[in-house]
Structure 1
Amino acid sequence: MKIAGIIVTLCTVCTSFTLAQSTQKEMLTTPQKTAGVYYAYPALDIVKQKNAPKGYQPFYISHFGRHGSRYLINDEDYKWILDLLEDAGNQNALTPLGLDTYQRVRKVWQEAEGRGGDLSPLGVRQQRGIAERMFRLYPNVFTNSATLSARSTLVVRCILSMDAFCERLKELNPKLKANREASNKYMGYLNFHTPEAIAFRSEKNTWKKQLDSFQQKIINPNRLVASLFKDGDFVNQKVKKEALMWGFYWLASDMQNMETKISFYDLFQLQELFDIWQCINAKEYINNASNSFNNNIMYNNAKPVLKNIILSADEVITKKGKGATLRFAHDGNMMPLLAALRLKNCYGDTDNIDEIYKVWSNYKVAPMGANLQIVFYKKTTSDDVIVKFLLNEVETTIPELSSNITPYYRWKDVKAYYQQILDK
């Protein structure tokens, strides 16, 4: 079954970005989701929020965001495919689909050349949109007396995401005070990985053998390669079939993040896309979430930023301030943080690699532009502080923490709950 010509409406994209777990049918209906962490943040309108308890007003937002949409991480991710197709074309080794694909890759290269890993124009628009919706929803937070603290990792796409976000807020209220920094000083919590986590990812241990076996079982590049090349000798001599299938998967996935309106989804069958995504999703789950595969050691990667979230909030509360703390990092930082926060659908566990997609989905946890917002409220007549959590601008919950005002929680209860995690 080919998927060329599928049109996904804005309505479909937006309603598909819910927090319910994935099904195979859902993924096959919207192939853009199989991009995983390359899934482009949907163009949302302001999502309706549940009113806070009577008398409570927002005064502070603690934010952690992934950078916006980007190009593939290296120029070489495009160039080697282009060079291979050009070589095959020169040797009359391409099918009509192969020739057409070659021309498409040439057009993509015109935009992508020199931009490997860079924030794309869409990434800028995403951050500006998230900032504006935050401003519109919580105007009490962004009054003239508010103070903004913005911190980014040293990677340029994160820095530019921070700037796009802050600039939009400043455009909406030029009197806002916004302090922005990208410094090694903050890398200890923005992009922290324990030595144990690094070793776990690099070692040739049981999980890698399981993943390799799983991948070999469900990935078969022969059909795709045969659709592009008509010369068997050329294929045998120059085409690494599985690498080419993966290369086109990444290229197809990232097109939604670029300005060039070209698709490569017609090269794949729907089941092929789903199977490749399963492999990527499983690897990221094992490497970045917390689960029985990794003995939950990835929680420790999130502890420094969780401490920063608590300390930063308490400082604002103590000083009776208002404003926002904005943090910009990467998908590998979002995943362990959301798992440590125990937010709904961000920490499901299974020891069956075939079942991972049923309990955890990378495109819902950390798409391009992913963001966590913790919104703080208080009464003018009381020191009581309550909070709510938004994942990708949708209210969510902490299933293990009870509250009689859900999706709102009392800050003292949230702190006590997370202190137990920090103490483990």
Structure 2
Amino acid sequence: MNRSLFFCLLIAALLSTSAKAQNCNNAYWGTKTIYEPQQKKYAPVPKGYQAVYINHVGRHGSRHVTKDLAGTLAYRLLQKADSAKALKANGIKLKNMVMLLQKIEKPGLKSISIRGAEEQQAIGQRMMQNYNSIFKNNKQCLNMAITKEERTKQSAEAFLKGLNYTQTCQTEFVTNNDDLRFFSIAPAYAEFEKNGAWKKEYDKLEKAIKPAAFNQQFLTRFFQQSFINKLSNDEQSELIDDVFGFSSITNSIQKEIVNAGHKPADLDLRSLITCGELKILDELASADDFLKKGPAMNNGGIQVRDAVPLLVSFINTTDNYISKHDITANLRFAHAETIAPIAALMDIKGADKPAMDILSFGKVWSAAAVIPLSSNVQWVLFKNAKGNYLVKILLNEKEAAIDGVVTKTFPYYQWSDIRKHYLNKLSTLHVQLSDDMHAYLMNLK
């Protein structure tokens, strides 16, 4: 059989097989993957050392939708098709689910969900349990930084509840845009996001994995053909992306669904989408994140370099602790757009490798593994009686290897080696720790 024909038949089979039959409900969630710590048992601390300080940045917890569903193309077209009697049986099911989702989601718009608060609280609890020596004196301050979004403040509050650290000085919530929302500050990055070379790579992947008949096969399950014929290709794609997005939020709001008097099955949007379709849509969404936020085809691209202010902040705050010992921890709460580039910039293995070919990017990077909901990066500093410092770096609570740095005591690195590695990296970018980071972002090319 011709290989091209075989590939087309294979894709068609994937698209036509029901999601439930393949039991893929726990797959293909991408950045909406529910958080679980990626490691629970840790390497013993080297003899004579104890944890003394933590530097942390985390994504907000599982959340509600960030945009009113009524403003989406899918919502409007489902209403329009219903009025025109252009919905099939599955289309009516889809419309009813979307209407229910809107009802449940509108009160919590842009906020974290019950599950999101539980995730953050649990991370705080584990931090207290795993590094009790840092918090046992209960005298030093915590520095807290959040973005302008309410969901990051809510995440910080839930985290503090889990940490249960009643420090003697007041914790201040500082909205720190240059460090945490660098992606929305740099004009050059905004231009890259709109018109960057990443688009060619994305189009290459889309052509390779998305059959020409994909939109038709997806939409004819819900709409009469006469209605579909009136939609442009862009409208068809946006409609499908909206439905996929709606389906991806449902895991985050399971308790809200039950509290509203419904069963999870009442909002099982994924039962209306095949596993093959979910796989394709998830791969495209993850590729979009990889190309615009992750290491992409070049770890030194603007999508990674815009995270320099956060790396500078991590180094400076760690240096400050070593010199003054006045801060227990620096805790920051931000977004997926913060975590993906900083993990790449820090050379964290599993998060920093660019792809040689976009068709195989999944071999080097996974949105579900790097930037799930509540994803985080931690530097834990350890000290011995001689005043020597080790640092352990974790991604999603998993002890991480740092590409380019050698240690005989993995996962513990000499702080001096880690610091030197990052200073050398900043030097190649003509950045010093004392530089004005807002000016850096404004002049980033």
Confirm or deny that 1:263 pairs with 2:279: no
Alpha carbons of structure 1 residues 275 and 179: separation in structure 2 relative to 1, 3 Å: same
Q: Deviations over 1:171-219 (max 9, x none)?
A: x343454512233xx312122144333322222x543134234324433
Per the alignment, residue 179 of structure 1 pairs with 171
For the structure 1 residues 295 and 31, does the alpha-carbon distance in structure 2 shift closer, same or farther, using more than 3 Å as the test?
farther
TM-score norm. by structure 1 comes to 0.86
User: Displacement, 1:267?
Assistant: 2.2
In structure 1, the partner of 2:194 is 202
How far is 1:120 from its partner? 1.9
Question: Could you say which residue in structure 1 is the equivalent of 2:152?
Answer: 158
Instruction: Give 2:285's aligned residue.
Output: 280
Question: Once the two structures are superposed, what CA deviation does each residue of 1:19-55 show, in whole Å capped at 9, x if it has no partner?
Answer: xxxxxxxxxxx5544221121213x598111111111
Query: Could you tell me which of 366, 383, 389 is aligned with 1:385?
Result: 389
Question: Do the aligned partners of 1:75 and 1:114 also contact (CA within 8 Å) in 2?
Answer: no
1:221 corresponding residue in structure 2: 215
Matched to 1:298, the amino acid is Q
1-side partners of 2:91 and 2:41: how far apart? 46
Counterpart mapping for 1:122-161 below 5 A: 122-143=115-136, 144-161=138-155
- Does the alignment pair 1:2 with 2:30? no
Between the two proteins, what is the percent identity of the paired residues?
26
In the alignment, what sits opposite 1:330? 335
User: For 2:32, which of 38, 42, 54 is the aligned residue?
Assistant: 38
- Contact between 1:57 and 1:378, CA under 8 Å: does it hold in 2? yes
Work out whether residues 41 and 126 of structure 1, in 8 Å CA contact, stay in contact via their aligned partners in 2.
Answer: yes
Match of 2:440? none
Instruction: For residues 73-115 of structure 1, give each alpha carbon's deviation from its aligned partner in whole angstroms, at most 9, with x where no partner exists.
Output: 2113775434433333343322222222222222212111254
Deviation readout 1:332-377 (Å, 9 max, x if unpaired): 1111110011011111122422111111111211111111111111
AA of the residue aligned to 2:283: Q
Measured in 2, the distance between the counterparts of 1:165 and 1:40 equals 16
Distance across 2 between alignment mates of 1:191 and 1:93:
43
How far apart in 2 are the matches of 1:177 and 1:138? Answer: 20
2: CA distance between counterparts of 1:98 and 1:315? 58
Q: How many correspondences in the alignment?
A: 394
Judged with a 3 Å threshold, the aligned counterparts in structure 2 of structure 1 residues 275 and 326 are, in CA distance, closer, same or farther, namely: same
The 3 A distance-change label for structure 1 pair 153 and 93 is same
Provide the secondary structure at the position in 2 that maps to 1:228. Answer: coil
CA RMSD of superposed structures (Å): 2.3
Q: Distance in 1 between matches of 2:208 and 2:376?
A: 35
| 1:408-419 equivalences in 2 (<5 Å) | 408-419=412-423
Say if 1:210 and 1:306 are closer, same or farther in 2 by CA, change over 3 A: closer
Tell me, what secondary structure is at the counterpart of 1:227?
Answer: coil
Shift of 1:274: 1.7
Tell me the TM-score normalised to structure 2 length: 0.82
Separation (CA, whole Å) in 2 of partners of 1:95 and 1:313: 60
The answer on whether the counterparts of 1:64 and 1:371 sit within 8 Å (CA) in structure 2 is yes
The question of whether the paired residues in 2 share the 8 Å contact of 1:224 and 1:267 is answered with no
CA, structure 1 residues 306+175, in 2 after alignment: closer, same or farther (shift >3 Å)? Answer: closer
Deviations 1:320-340 (A, max 9, x none): 345111011111111111001
Structure 1 residues 295-304 or 256-265, which shifts more? 295-304
Question: Equivalent residues in 2 for 1:398-413 (5 A)?
Answer: 398-413=402-417
Query: 1:294, CA displacement in angstroms?
Result: 7.5
Q: Which of the numbers 43, 55, 58 marks the counterpart of 1:62?
A: 55
Q: Given that residues 35 and 253 in structure 1 are in contact (C-alpha distance below 8 angstroms), is that contact kept between their aligned partners in structure 2?
A: yes
Higher deviation after alignment, 55-64 or 271-280: 271-280
Residues 307 and 341, structure 2, Cα contact 8 Å, conserved in 1: yes
SS of 2:230 mapped into structure 1: helix
Is 1:299 the counterpart of 2:289 in the alignment? Answer: no
Whole-angstrom CA distance in 2 between matches of 1:291 and 1:82: 33
Aligned equivalent of 1:191: 181
Distance 1:54 1:147, change over 3 A: same
- Measured in 2, the distance between the counterparts of 1:166 and 1:65 equals 13
Unmatched segments (≥5 aa) in structure 1: 8-29
